[in-house]
Amino acid sequence: MASAAGSRLLGGCRKASPWTVTRCALSTTSLACMPSRARFFPVSKTPMLPKDTFKGKVAFITGGGTGLGKSMAEMLSSLGAEVTITSRKLDVLQKTADDIQGRTGNRVKAIATDVREPGSVREVVSECIEEMGLPHLVVNNAAGNFISPTERISPNAWKTIIDIVLNGTANVTLDIGKRLIAANQGASFLSISTVYTQSGSAFVTPSAAAKAGVEALTKSLASEWAKYGMRFNCIAPGPIETKGAFSRLDPTGRFKQKAMNRIPAGRLGEAEELANLSAYILSDYASWMTGSVSVAKQLKKTAVCFFLSVAVNGTLFN
């Protein structure tokens, strides 16, 4: 890295090597400039698949009201799918559904549910089937996470994350899967995992354990239910800034600054990039692909325990 003596201010930013994160006033939400090498890796936010790739298909997405779920819902809708989005907050869901449907012209239905409750999942799936038909595309994106030293985690805090992430994924997957088997219909399932399932990460042990379970479930069903025409895959994305996740996991912004300097592309991922990858994996263009965990990251391995740099405090689930 360039020494302090060797760096100088140019146009509000510090002159530095391509591997140095530099500061500048880009916007009120940006804590740091992207490293200069980021210009070689521009973001493409437009759909990469043909317009009607999912025409006649029904998609079911948990955690679809905000963040990555919203981005995936919009991508699938723009490619022709009818989409049901779910989460616990109906007002947020409805706003998202209206917004996406207004832009794509394809039907988007918002239904509130709690993926932790099998009965609630059963009802929302039944409503989706009644209005749109059995899903052909299923995205398990509902998640929960928080930062805490493991010794401070209460039993209820642990149970909350496991119930949302692992049991919620199982509840949705098994309910829809059993209906698909009875109807002799295939489908493509995608679960959103995380980069630290293989190596672990400090301060997020419930999430790491739950997401590792999701990956094991994915690989197991990919083998067992292939005979029913179903595919199961995961994406384990690296850091993609969304308001909900980053407000909880990176409240100081310190991780974002460190991450951009460690990532070879010199920037964080964008939600549309994940949405494009998701659309490809769900589509027939990837029909030979099952039981995989696609690690969409560019972090060095030594950066896995990235929460070490974040101040740990706050209220736990009691």
Mind telling me the catalytic residues?
Answer: 196
Neighbours of 47 (CB within 10 A): 17
CA distance 218 to 97: 28
Assigned token pair, 150: 């493991």
Assigned token pair, 91: 């007002």
CA distance 65 to 311: 29
CA distance 307 to 304: 8
8: Cβ contacts below 8 Å, ≥ 6 apart: 14, 15
